[in-house]
């Protein structure tokens, strides 16, 4: 299975969290660090994927329309995540509509029996959710009780109050993106909760240093 992740923010964090969660059940390979362009994705395919690999997670970035479509043509994702859409790189795309069009290339590249997850707290991503014609799900943290202090964040998931060593409200949003895909790929609630107990901070993304 190939999972594509794109959006104006949160791509690397969601990829990092999803990799950790899925690894409790599957052999997972992901593009490294924040590398998300065609050549770096190709490099991971060539050097990282082995016959044992069960899931490949590809972070997909773009500075213009067509770039994400090219990556999708190469790796053929069946699952897509839109982490959020804002006016990031507006100087290159020229308009928010062009940014939406570029991000939606991932969804348009998914097969008819594929799956897409969208951040519904982002108006831009919510617009793309409405356009999506295949199986889809949205995630939101607007109605969740979240407490973040002392380098940790506490929230409720599957009826359980859990604490993770991640900073900030947005960390729970990133976790929920990973949870949606993990559930789709067959992980149980308990497997996901177990993985979150051992979750590691995302390198260089509000990573606490003591």
| Distance separating alpha carbons of residues 55 and 19, to the nearest angstrom | 9
Whether pLDDT at 201 is above 90: no
| pLDDT value of residue 97 | 83
| Distance separating alpha carbons of residues 50 and 201, to the nearest angstrom | 27
Whether pLDDT at 89 is above 70: no
Q: What is the DSSP letter of 59?
A: E
User: Where does the pLDDT of residue 95 fall: very low under 50, low under 70, confident under 90, or very high at 90 and above?
Assistant: confident
What is the pLDDT averaged over residues 180-196?
97
Distances (CA, A) of 50 to 36, 117, 183: 20, 27, 24
Of 20-34, 39-53, 80-94, the one with minimum mean pLDDT is 80-94
When the pLDDT of each residue in the chain is averaged and rounded to a whole number, the result is 91
| In contact, 146 and 34? CB cutoff 8 Å | no
């Amino acid at each position: 299975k190939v999972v594509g992740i794109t959006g104006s923010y949160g791509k690397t964090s969601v990829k990092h969290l999803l990799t950790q969660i899925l690894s409790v059940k599957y052999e997972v390979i992901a593009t490294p660090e924040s590398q998300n362009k065609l050549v770096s994705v190709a490099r991971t395919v060539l050097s990282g994927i082995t016959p044992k690999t069960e899931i490949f997670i590809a972070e997909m970035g773009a500075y213009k329309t067509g770039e994400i479509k090219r990556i999708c043509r190469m790796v053929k994702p069946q699952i897509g995540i839109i982490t959020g859409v804002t006016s990031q790189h507006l100087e290159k795309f020229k308009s928010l509509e062009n940014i939406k069009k570029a991000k939606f290339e991932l969804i348009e590249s998914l097969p008819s029996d594929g799956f897409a997850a969208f951040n519904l707290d982002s108006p831009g991503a919510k617009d793309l959710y409405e356009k999506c014609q295949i199986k889809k799900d949205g995630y939101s943290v607007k109605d969740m009780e979240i407490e973040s202090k002392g380098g940790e964040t506490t929230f409720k998931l599957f009826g359980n109050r859990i604490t993770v060593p991640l900073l900030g409200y947005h960390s729970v949003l990133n976790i929920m993106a990973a949870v949606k895909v993990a559930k789709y790929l067959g992980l149980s609630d308990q497997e996901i909760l177990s993985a979150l107990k051992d979750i590691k901070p995302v390198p260089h993304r509000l990573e606490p240093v003591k």
